[in-house]
């Protein structure tokens, strides 16, 4: 097998000391359209006894502009992000894609160490739980068939794949259904989804068909942006409308 890189210098996760505050970074679309995911994230951390803060100055990580080629415009947002989050040693974010932006791509926007070092302190929720806290069982119970969509950014830039699977497999009464062709892109790709909608939707339909083939009633992921796209396709079709798209944090708070 290939070893997945995690975007950290030397590949080493830092050690979390009990009682250290953790800052929540809630990506803009989650804040505005999926607040329940952020609530679930906060809830999970709180139940683990971790003091959390939500710096209210936060806005966005700059990814949309960066991926569209507007690096100067992205830089302004990235600097704002870093100003807001600089005091925190641990920043947890319920999105693989936004975490990849912070950890891997901040450097290209602005190689200043004051920017890069903040970006490298951002961790996606499942990797924070598994790799940093060493926790895979959150005591959740969810009696459903669930499959996992693995977002490309999280997997290829940060090595996120085993962590969400481990978390799901420890959920009581949850039946984990493997997704055929799990490594394939769902076709969301940010602005790609509206710049090449035909290809994007065709890719999403393939993904939706694989979700159906997995036999799951729920498709989950560490990235709600992918799920907004795949879920949007599943909802379109009366035959697949019953399949729910849920962020992994929402699954992990079920009791």
- The 8 Å CB, 24+ separation contacts for 133-138 are 133/16, 133/48, 135/48, 136/166, 136/167, 136/169, 136/170, 137/170, 138/44, 138/47, 138/48, 138/167, 138/170, 138/171, 138/252, 138/253
In this chain, which of 132, 182, 196, 209 binds other proteins, going by CB under 8 A?
A: 196
Q: Which residues within the stretch 146-185 sit at the binding site for other proteins (CB under 8 A)?
A: 152-153, 156-157, 183-185
49 binds other proteins (CB under 8 A): yes
CB of 4: closest distance to other proteins in angstroms? 10
* Cα–Cα distance, 96 to 223 (Å, whole number): 6
Q: Which residue has the tokens 């830039």?
A: 157
* Cα–Cα distance, 187 to 100 (Å, whole number): 17
76 binds other proteins (CB under 8 A): yes
Q: Which residue has the tokens 């903040």?
A: 118
In this chain, which of 11, 53, 114, 137 binds other proteins, going by CB under 8 A?
A: 53
CB of 38: closest distance to other proteins in angstroms? 4
25 binds other proteins (CB under 8 A): no
Given the complex with other proteins, which of 164 and 204 has the nearer CB atom?
Answer: 204
32 binds other proteins (CB under 8 A): yes
CB of 90: closest distance to other proteins in angstroms? 10
* Cα–Cα distance, 222 to 172 (Å, whole number): 19
Given the complex with other proteins, which of 23 and 174 has the nearer CB atom?
Answer: 23
Measured CA to CA in angstroms, residue 206 lies from 187, 212, 226, 230 at distances of: 9, 10, 13, 9
Q: Among candidates 29, 88, 34, which has minimal Cα distance to 61?
A: 29
In this chain, which of 14, 51, 143, 215 binds other proteins, going by CB under 8 A?
A: 51
Binding part of the chain for other proteins, among 137-145, 164-172, 214-222, 224-232 by CB under 8 A, reads 224-232
Given the complex with other proteins, which of 91 and 130 has the nearer CB atom?
Answer: 91
Given the complex with other proteins, which of 71 and 176 has the nearer CB atom?
Answer: 71
Name the token pair of 107.
Answer: 């450097």
CB of 173: closest distance to other proteins in angstroms? 27
12 binds other proteins (CB under 8 A): no
Binding part of the chain for other proteins, among 8-16, 115-123, 130-138, 226-234 by CB under 8 A, reads 226-234
- How far from the centroid of its chain's Cα atoms is residue 165's Cα? 13
98 binds other proteins (CB under 8 A): no
Binding part of the chain for other proteins, among 70-78, 133-141, 169-177, 246-254 by CB under 8 A, reads 70-78
* Cα–Cα distance, 54 to 74 (Å, whole number): 22
117 binds other proteins (CB under 8 A): no
Name the token pair of 243.
Answer: 């399949």
Sheet holding 122-124, edge to edge: 52-53, 22-24, 91-93, 122-124
């Amino acid at each position: 097998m290939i070893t997945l890189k995690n975007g950290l210098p030397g590949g080493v996760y830092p050690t979390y000391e009990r009682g250290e505050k953790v800052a929540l970074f809630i990506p803009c679309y989650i804040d505005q359209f999926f607040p329940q995911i952020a609530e679930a994230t906060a809830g999970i951390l709180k139940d683990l006894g971790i003091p959390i803060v939500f710096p209210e100055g936060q806005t966005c990580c700059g990814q949309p502009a960066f991926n569209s080629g507007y690096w100067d415009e992205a830089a302004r947002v990235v600097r704002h992000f870093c100003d807001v989050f600089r005091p925190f040693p641990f920043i947890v974010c319920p999105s693989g894609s936004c975490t990849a932006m912070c950890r891997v791509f901040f450097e290209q926007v602005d190689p200043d160490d004051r920017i890069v070092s903040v970006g490298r302190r951002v961790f996606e929720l499942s990797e924070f739980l598994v790799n940093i806290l060493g926790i895979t069982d959150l005591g959740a119970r969810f009696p459903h068939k669930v499959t996992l969509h693995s977002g490309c950014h999280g997997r290829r830039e940060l090595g996120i794949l085993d962590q969400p699977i481990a978390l799901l497999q420890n959920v009581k009464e949850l039946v984990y259904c493997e997704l055929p062709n799990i490594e394939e892109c769902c076709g969301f790709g940010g602005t790609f989804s509206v710049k090449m909608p035909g290809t994007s939707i065709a890719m999403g339909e393939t993904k939706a068909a694989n979700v159906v083939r997995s036999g799951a009633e729920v498709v989950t992921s560490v990235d709600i942006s992918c799920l907004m796209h795949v879920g949007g396709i599943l909802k379109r079709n009366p035959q697949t409308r019953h399949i729910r798209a849920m962020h992994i944090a929402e699954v992990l708070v079920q009791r």
